Amino acid sequence: MKNLLIYGTLTGNTENVAQQIKTLVEESAKELEIKNINQTSIADISAVENLLIVASSTWDDGLPCSDMADFLEESAQDLPDLAGKKLAFFGCGDSNYVQFCKAVDILEETFTKKGGEKICNSLKIDGYVEDEGNQEKIKNFAKEITQSL
C-alpha cells in the first residue's frame, strides 16, 4: 500500500478525525488507506511505500490510548526501517491536562527513530472534534499532507 493511516481510539474521536483526513486526501485524488491499530500488523507498516500517518488519543497522565499503548509495547522494537518514508502524526486530547496530547509526542519519538521524515507539524485536537477551530485545523493538516504526496 502506498499511504497508510493507523490510529488508536477509545471514544471514537481519533477515528472520526482519521475518516475526515481520508476523505479530504481522497478529494485530491490521492489514495489513503486507514486501519485501526487493533487490525494493524508490522507487515502493514512494512508495506507502506510513501506516507505513514500515526494517531492516538491521550489518556491518563499523557499516555497513548490503551490499544495504541498495547501495540507500541508489543511491537515498537519490531517496527521496520522507515528511511525514505514520510511521516505525520495527530491526536486528540484535552488541554485541561498538563500532558496535553502527549501521546502524539510519544508516537513521533517512536516512529521517527526508525528513520522516517516528519513532513508537517503534528495536529493536536483540543476538546470537541466538531468545533469550528478544530475542523479548520483538520483541513489544514490534510492539505499539508496532500501537498507532500
Task: Summarize pLDDT for 72-123 with one digit per residue, the tens.
Answer: 999 989 999 999 999 999 999 999 999 999 999 999 999 999 999 999 999 9
CATH number of 3-148: 3.40.50.360
Percent of the chain clearing pLDDT 70 (strictly above): 99
Cα–Cα dist 30/24, whole Å:
9
Lowest mean pLDDT among 27-31, 52-56, 137-141: 27-31
Cα–Cα dist 41/51, whole Å:
16
Helix H or strand E encompassing 68: helix 66-75
Q: Which of 91, 45, 37 is nearest to 67 (CA)?
A: 37
* Three-class SS state of 74: helix
Cα–Cα dist 14/85, whole Å:
23
Residue 29 confidence (pLDDT) = 85
Q: Which amino acid is at 148?
A: S
With a threshold of 0.85, does the pTM exceed it?
A: yes
